[in-house]
Every structure is written in structure tokens, then in C-alpha cells.
Amino acid sequence: MGKLYIEERAINLAHYIIDSKDTVRGAAKKFGVSKSTVHKDVSERLQKISPCLAAEVRSILDENKAERHIRGGMATKLKYSHEHENLNGKVRLTKGTLLFVNLSLHFGTLLPFTIY
């Protein structure tokens, strides 16, 4: 089951990444392996099995890498937008949390405060 299974997995991972444009993390979760295994399969092993397929996967992984800072920023924005929407409810304010307080009665604007 050894070498043949690993080669099949590398090819299946490559086809999955090409078809879904998924990230290494997403592919690892889908196939039940680690991110390191996915990297090794599609970078090293696939290069020996099918260089053409490896090039296609590499282009998608490079594109994902170039976009990851944007996805991270969007995730952070989403995380903090939920905190601000729930200020009237129960929100746990921790050290370093930026809090916007509406003092429109006195200043006519939203003022930022940081909890220390």
C-alpha cells in the first residue's frame, strides 16, 4: 500500500486543488492529512510523478499565497465587526480592545477608546 498510495494521494490532492482552487489548509482538512503532507505531496512528490500537473498546482498555490493577506484582513474585519454590533449585548472586553463609544450628545461623533 506504501508508495502507490502516496503517489495516488499526491495526484488526487493535485486534482482537488486545481478543481476547487482550495488552499493547502483546506485540502489537508478534506483529505485528513497535515498541511506539511500536502506541501510535500504537491511540491516534491508530484514533480517526480507529473511535472505538468505540478506546475498547474504551483500556480494556484502561488495565487493563494498572494491573496492570503487579503483573506486575513477580511477575517479580522469580520471578527471585530461582530464585537461592535454586539456592544449592547454581552461582549467580553479584554485588554487592548478598541471600543467605540457614541458620545453624540456631547461631541456629535463616535470616539475610540482602548481598554488598558
For 35-63, what is the mean pLDDT?
94
Higher pLDDT, 74 or 29: 29
Indicate the DSSP class of residue 48.
H
Q: Dump pLDDT digits (tens) for 51-96.
A: 999 999 999 999 988 888 888 888 888 777 765 555 555 555 555 5
Q: Which residue stretches of the chain are H helix?
A: 2-20, 24-31, 35-40, 46-49, 51-85
69: its cell numbers: 493577506
**Residue-range domain boundaries for the chain:** 2-79, 86-116
